[in-house]
Each structure stands twice: as structure tokens, then as C-alpha cells.
Structure 1
Amino acid sequence: MKEVLIASFDMEVGGVERSLINMLESFDYGNYKVDLMLYRHQGDFMKLLPSKPNLLEEIPQYTTFRKSISETIKEGYIVLGLSRILAKVNTNYYHKRTKIAEPGYYQMQMMWRYTLPFLPKMEKEYDVAISYLWPHYFVAEKVKARKKIAWIHTDYSIIETDIEMDLKMWKKFDHIIAVSEACKNAFLAKYKDLESKVSVIENITSPEFIQKMSQEQLDNRMVNDKRFKLLTVARLSHAKGIDKAVKALRLLKDKGYTDISWYVVGYGGEEVKIKELIRQNNLDDNFILLGKKTNPYPFMKACDLYVQPSRYEGKAVTVTEAKILAKPIIVSNYSTAVSQIDNGEDGIICEDLSVESIAVEIEDLYKNEQLRNKFVDHNMTCNHSNVDELKKLYSLIG
């Protein structure tokens, strides 16, 4: 029986974490003994982890990545705290010089660059080590394995990273897995020398699990809301475009569509900014932040239209989940959108990434019940199960 390590950060509520749970639920434990390494045993999804993988104990130094610098220093990890400060200073300088939209990825890289020399290695050697969430430096540098595999969940044509540093890390892996063909192509546009290593394995989805979870009874304002209800499930971050959603709803309201409400399930660093944007646009009663929810599926089931206003995605797990729950769907025209939506068949891809194009498509679907029903019927009759995707992973494991 082959020994497999799967590593990720934690089990906070998010699309990557949901896809990890689905993969762990469906894994072949008859042929593989799986150790799960989470840097921190934290998050509402911890209770959804299946029992078959062996959850390893936390390694204290790695738990600091999800803690503040002050917490890290107070706990005695002074060098790690100082390394984080250095990463922050470096990133602030780089951000001022380059004006990049989202410096978080670059800062994460710098954090690993400066902390790596002070982080412990794992003693056990594995047949295969899988790093499920970027950055992959832990598995690349601190794990002994005969074969190493890394996952890509995002659109690399958009994010800013130190390419030379990243390339050194990627070369430590035997295989790199992208969650969609578009995601793979975006990655190879930046790292063309890695083409022989990259293959596509879609996020594992379990329609039975999602349908079952969607049956949970809701008792909140969304269920009792008689207006036309839009829903987005996403982190409150620049990438997910929730600010654009607020502005699109303002445009619709200005055109006289006062009976449309927009709900968002999620949390994140831009919550204060988005709340202020909602207030400035006088949408407190129309644009409602529901916060973090372990189970977003009853909210999905209750909506009239699912909207993904993201600026970029690898492959949005939530869009597939909305299909499983037979919802009409609109996605903004991020570069990987065509890998998820067959435009006009199971949903709509906006003309571009603008606020105006989101508002236009919402207006069109709001007025066109026949088209909404076409999308519902299409998504209801399709088979959205893709557990067979795991066979591709087993073939790479060997």
C-alpha cells in the first residue's frame, strides 16, 4: 500500500477546501494510506473532514502562517515574526514600484522565502507527496517523497509573483495539476518550460452530498424575501469582484429594478470596504452580506439566479455547485469562464469584466423567464458527477 501525504493550510470555509473534502471523501483508501497535513487545525470545515485519512498533528512553526505577526512573536517564534515583517516591507516597496492590484500573492511568496530556513522538515518519507494549495514550498523543500505533485487552483495570467523564485519551486515537482484546461493554459503562458509536467484534473464534486446538504431548512430573511433573489458564494476579496456586484445592483436599481435583492455568502479581508460601498450606494436593504456559512447550499437552492462576478478564477467550485442545484447562472468574463459555462446553454458569460456587462446580463435574465427555465432544465438533466477524475491522479501516483 502506497504512502501518500496531502498538505494544505487549514479548513476555513472556501472553494479549495470544499474541493479537498470532496477528494478525500472519494479517495481509494484500499490502495493508498493517506496522511493529511494541515498547517493549522482550524476552520469550520474541520468537522466535515472524513475519518479515513490520518490527520497529522500540527507542527507549531507552520501554524504561525495563519496568525498575526504579533501573535507569532508572542508565542516565541521571533525569527519567524521578523521574517514576516521583512516580507511585508519588501512587498510594500514592490507594490509602490509596480502598482500591482493585489500584492497578497507576492507577499506570501516573500514570507516563505524568508521563513524557509527556519522551518522544520518532516521526518517520514512518502511514496507521493501532494501539495494542494499554493504556495507549495513546504512539500517542495521540507518533505521527502519519491514523487511530488502540486495543484493549481487559480488563473496565473492575473496574479503577480516572483517568476524566478516560483520556477525553482515548480521544478521540484514531478507533476503539476490544473483544475481546468483554461487554468492550465494560463499557467503555461507564464511557465512554458513546465508543459511536460502539467495535466488537468477537475475539482471533484459529489452531487449527492450537495443535494443532501441543500435540504437543510433555512429560517432567515432570504427565505422570506419575495423579491428576485441573486446569490454569490465567495470570499470578500478583490479577486471575487463583490465590489462590482454592489455597483451592478446600483445600476439596476437606477433603471427601476427595485425588486431585485443580492445576497452574498462569504467573508474576507474586504468586508469593511464592501459594507461601506453598500452604504454609499444606499443598498442596505438590497445587498445583503450573510457572512460565513459552513453550508452554503440551502442559500443556493433558495436563489433565483446565481452570479459569479469574479475578476479571475482557476475554476470556481461554486459555479459547478450551482449547476448541480439546477440554477440559472451568470459569470463575468474572466479568462477561464469558458471552461465552466457553455454560453447560452447552461448559463451566461458576460461580454467583459465590467460592472455594466454584469448588470446587462442580470437585466436580460430577470426579464427572460423562458431562458432561465432553459438553463434550469439543462442543469437538472446533466450528470455533474466526476469522481472518475481521480483515476487520472492514481495514474500519476503510479
Structure 2
Amino acid sequence: MKKNILFVVDEREMGGVSVVLNDLVHTLDSNKYNIDILVLHNKGNMLNDLPDHVDIFYGTPYFEAIDYTISEVIKMKKFSLLMKKVRIVFDLKTGFIKQSIQRERKKLIHKQYDVEVAFKDGFTALFVGYGNCMNKIHWLHCSYKTFNPNAKYENLFKKVLPLFDHIVGVSVNVVKEFNEIYHLEKITETIPVVMDVERIKRLSQASSIFSVNEDKLNIVLIGRCHPVKGYDRLFDVVIRLKDENMLGNAHFTIFGDGPLFTHLKERISNEKLNDVISMKGEISNPYAELRNYSLLLLPSFSEAFGIVVFEAFIFKLPVIATKTTGSLVTIDDGENGMICENSDEGLYQSLKQLIQHPDAIDQWKNNLKNFNYDNSKLLKRIETIFDEGEKI
């Protein structure tokens, strides 16, 4: 008999969590599981390419402000949304959030699930934790040392998180940093992300939308235009290299939308960077574009895992990344890319070195020719967790 599985996320914006969830539901056995996805706030364009056996549904109006900050809502000048945000903040601060979630769950959940998965750090843990499912799982994707999404309501989460049967982190360091705060070693474990490699390769066969100048050192960045991604400091480094005549023939292309998109576009125009940085916005199929580039760059302040690194490796594309929890577990420094110090100066020195010695890219590509990502053990462990229904 099939098990009913519910995955809960707060939105479906472009980003690693949406990509990881999409790949996971594509690879789970459809003969064993009926899968639903609940998106609490229907914002974003991801999670469109789902398998036929996966159903998606959306939250009530109560949740429309959960993924905005107060300042973001004020800037939007939407009074009704502001009132919803104020209400959620009030519920979180007073502890009434439990009653509110249980009230909204009655409107949304119309069947009994064998497993409920809070698949994104933060609010989804409250939604699942305050539910009545017998097997509750929480997936961790954040580097809690540099970004703790629960920090504002720490006492609340310290009460809810022990209610879970399993807590899964995407890397050893994610779990370690999480347990330095919450001390839930008995129910936490590490399972790296599952990737639907065959699907990724299939999507890469589509025609490219954007062309590149093959005479350039073409560097690509993929991810939301969010402060944590470090795009502003990359711009500062590019300007410095350009002013010192050290930029060579490097060209940077950014795929992704987000809160800083307009700001970054304005910087390109105001600081005359059009010839060295291109912003293409959100793209539905980045895999068809990756093969056109020489290198992937991640200038992030924080990355818990960095699935885009392994996606690049599938296409034999080396990666330069700042030193983060994610890059330390995905990149073999000097073998398939480079890890630089997580600072403006570190980024500057690494890009300068690459531009002066671009032959390193060919060696890194050669080292990636036998790269293979094996999901089999990961899926086996995930299925065991789904099927157990009891604490580790």
C-alpha cells in the first residue's frame, strides 16, 4: 500500500530548496509513494515541472506574508498584506501561532498523511511541528553559523523542533552547526541532496536562449539576487580589476531574479559595467545554458550545500567559490575548481589568479571527465526514514 507524503515549503521562488525538492520528487518511487506539495504562499515560478503523480496546492490567505519582512511589506505599500504580516508577527511573539496554524491546517489538510516533511528551514517547521502526523521530518538547508532563520523566535523553535521524529541536514557541517544551537543529536543525521541527473542531462539538450562570445573567458553565476549571494561585493571586485587593467577578457553572466535585481542592474548602468557583466533574470532551464560557459562562480557569504556546484560538475564545468559550509563539501580545491577566502580580498585574489592563469580551467575540466553523482544510497536512506515512522 502506498504511503501518503506531504512536503511543505513556504514559497516557490528560484533557489536551491525548490531545485532540490523538484529533483527529489522526480526520483522517489512512484509505486511506493503518493506525493503532495503544499506551498504556503504561492509566490515564484519554480515547481512547475513536476511528475504526474505529484500534486501541488497552496496555503490560505493567512500565509501570504510569511516570506516577507516587515520592511519589504511597508515598501510594497499594500495595507492588507501589512496587516497579515503584523498578525503573523504577533502570533509568533505571543505563542498564538500554534492555534493559528492548527486552525489553518483544518482548512488545508483534507487527508491523513503517513509522513509530513517541513522541507525548508524556518516557518515550515512550525506548520508541520504543530500538526498531527505520526512521522514528522524536518530538512535543513541553511548554514546555521552564518544564517539562522529561527533566530528571532529562538525559544519558540526550541519547543517545536524536538517534536520531530527525524531532522535531516544536507551536509555534515549543517547538522553540526544546527546542533550547536538546538542539541538534537539523537534525531539528526546527514543526507546529501538527491539529484535527478538524467532529467538534468535531458533538459540540457534544449536549445540555448542566450549566446556567448567564445573569445571571452565566460563566467556564469546562477542564483537569486539576494544579499547572501555576494553579488554586490563581486561588482566591487570587478570594478577593482577593471580599474587596474587586470580584468582581461573575462565576462560575467548572472541568471536569477530577486530583491537585488533592479539594484544590480542600476549598478551595471551607473558604473559602466555593461561590457563585463550581463544580467539575464530568471530562467526556466539553466541547464541548456551551462554548457556555453568556462566556469561557474559562487561569491556567496553563506552556502549550506550549493547544489549548483554539482550541477556544474555534471557538465564538466569547474567552480570557483568562496569558503562556505557548502563549498568545503563539494569542491576539491585545486582539482575541480578553487575555494577562496570568504572576503572581498579573497575573491579579488582568486579571480586575478584565474585571469592570469586561465589554463587551470582546462586541467580542472579534465579532472571532471569521470564525475558521477550516485543517488542510490541516499534514496535508500530517505525511503527508510519515510517507512519507519519512529525515531532513529
TM-score, length-scaled by structure 2: 0.86
CA RMSD of aligned residues (A): 2.6
Confirm or deny that 1:140 pairs with 2:94.
Answer: no
Give the one of 322, 344, 350 matched to 2:312.
Answer: 322
Alpha-carbon contact 1:83-1:111 (below 8 Å) kept: no
Aligned to 2:36: 35
Confirm or deny that 1:235 pairs with 2:236.
Answer: no
Alpha-carbon contact 2:248-2:355 (below 8 Å) kept: no
CA shift for structure 1 position 388: 3.2
Alpha-carbon contact 2:121-2:142 (below 8 Å) kept: no
Cα 1:342–1:145 change in 2 (3 A) is: same
After superposition, what is the alpha-carbon deviation per residue over 1:324-383, rounded to whole angstroms, capped at 9, x for unaligned?
A: 111121010123421111111221110x11122212222322333442112112222111
Moved more, 261-270 or 277-286: 277-286
Aligned to 1:353: 342
Alpha-carbon contact 2:6-2:38 (below 8 Å) kept: yes
After superposition, what is the alpha-carbon deviation per residue over 1:273-306, rounded to whole angstroms, capped at 9, x for unaligned?
A: 3234434543122111111111112332111111
Taking the aligned partners of 1:354 and 1:320, their CA distance within structure 2 comes to 23
Confirm or deny that 1:186 pairs with 2:186.
Answer: no
CA shift for structure 1 position 157: 0.3
Moved more, 332-341 or 117-126: 117-126
After superposition, what is the alpha-carbon deviation per residue over 1:199-230, rounded to whole angstroms, capped at 9, x for unaligned?
A: 1111111222222222322343x424632111
Identity of aligned residues (%): 24
Confirm or deny that 1:20 pairs with 2:37.
Answer: no
Taking the aligned partners of 2:332 and 2:134, their CA distance within structure 1 comes to 40
After superposition, what is the alpha-carbon deviation per residue over 1:26-53, rounded to whole angstroms, capped at 9, x for unaligned?
A: 1122222222222244532242111112
After superposition, what is the alpha-carbon deviation per residue over 1:123-163, rounded to whole angstroms, capped at 9, x for unaligned?
A: 5332211110122111111x221110001101000124133
Moved more, 166-175 or 40-49: 40-49
**SS of structure 2 residue aligned to 1:55:** strand
Aligned to 2:367: 378
**SS of structure 2 residue aligned to 1:49:** coil
Confirm or deny that 1:127 pairs with 2:117.
Answer: no
**SS of structure 1 residue aligned to 2:48:** helix
CA shift for structure 1 position 66: 5.4
Which blocks of at least 5 consecutive residues in structure 2 are unaligned? none
Aligned to 2:198: 208
Alpha-carbon contact 2:320-2:337 (below 8 Å) kept: yes
Matched AA of 2:325 = S
Aligned to 1:288: 278
Cα 1:304–1:78 change in 2 (3 A) is: closer
Confirm or deny that 1:342 pairs with 2:343.
Answer: no
Alpha-carbon contact 1:11-1:45 (below 8 Å) kept: yes
Alpha-carbon contact 1:329-1:347 (below 8 Å) kept: yes
**SS of structure 2 residue aligned to 1:11:** coil
Aligned to 1:155: 143
How many equivalent pairs are there? 370
CA shift for structure 1 position 387: 4.4
Taking the aligned partners of 2:94 and 2:19, their CA distance within structure 1 comes to 25
Moved more, 233-242 or 270-279: 270-279
Alpha-carbon contact 2:323-2:342 (below 8 Å) kept: yes
Taking the aligned partners of 1:394 and 1:54, their CA distance within structure 2 comes to 19
Moved more, 122-131 or 197-206: 122-131
Cα 1:244–1:299 change in 2 (3 A) is: farther
**SS of structure 2 residue aligned to 1:13:** coil
Cα 1:279–1:225 change in 2 (3 A) is: farther
Confirm or deny that 1:83 pairs with 2:72.
Answer: no
Moved more, 57-66 or 256-265: 57-66
**SS of structure 1 residue aligned to 2:133:** strand
**SS of structure 2 residue aligned to 1:171:** helix
Alpha-carbon contact 2:26-2:196 (below 8 Å) kept: no
Which blocks of at least 5 consecutive residues in structure 1 are unaligned? 88-108
Aligned to 2:254: 264
